[in-house]
Amino acid sequence: MREAEQLVKFAKKLKAEKLVCDGVNKGSISLRKSDGTILMSPSKLSYDELDIQKINMVDIDGNFISQPAPVSRDMYFHLEIYQKRQDVHAIIHTHSVYATALSLAGKKIPFILYGMKFHCRGEVDIAPFELPNTPECNEGIICHLKKHNAVLLENHGLVCVGETMQDCYETTEFVEHLSKSYLHALQIGSVKEIIEEERGYGNL
């Protein structure tokens, strides 16, 4: 499957699984091609209407190779992640309901499920709120993402990364379901964090 077709496929899957909505709740999705260029979803376009002719393409420094659609302001933090994380080849940003609820409450997700080791590479930290499309926002994402695969953005939403688009999508879906379970558990009582010696991070 061509890389552009793969991006479109997973964008539509995000919409079908209700991980994104239209308008301001759409978020963004990007893919680093094998030649190093970046495919980026546009702004102001429903994923239902997305096709390979409407994907913007830039180099790693943000210079446009092709710009057939409005530019997403998220492009700049996507590029920042690609520049700092050579292992990342796909990024998904959503405003999904439960992950965003945690971001509004200012709550990170501690290491509470062993599956977080594989999907998230540990806990899901939360980056303090900064205005979108600013150096401070980009730096906060990098600082709190670290070597993990997911980070919450305070009063904003969720960013997930992966070595492949499939990996990235699975992490996005996992974190949303995890967020839902965590919120329900917090309503019942306290949530036990898995202690350090039980985590097995050395095998990541």
pLDDT tens sequence for the chain (204 residues): 699 999 999 999 999 999 998 776 689 999 999 999 999 999 989 999 999 999 999 999 999 999 999 999 999 999 999 999 999 999 999 999 999 999 999 999 999 999 999 999 999 999 999 998 899 999 999 999 999 999 999 999 999 999 999 999 999 999 999 999 999 999 999 899 998 656 565 555
State the architecture of 3-195 in CATH terms.
Answer: 3-Layer(aba) Sandwich (3.40)
Token duo for residue 154: 């305070």
Stated length of the chain? 204
pLDDT of residue 175: 98
What pTM was computed for the model? 0.94
- Domain borders along the chain are 3-195
Q: Secondary structure of the chain in the HEC alphabet?
A: CCHHHHHHHHHHHHHHCCCCCCHHHCCEEEEECCCCCEEECCCCCCHHHCCHHHCEEECCCCCEEECCCCCCCCHHHHHHHHHHCCCCCEEEEECCHHHHHHHHHCCCECCCCCCHHHHCCCCEEEECCCCCCCHHHHHHHHHHHCCCCEEEECCCEEEEEECCHHHHHHHHHHHHHHHHHHHHHHHHCCCCCCCHHHCCHHHC
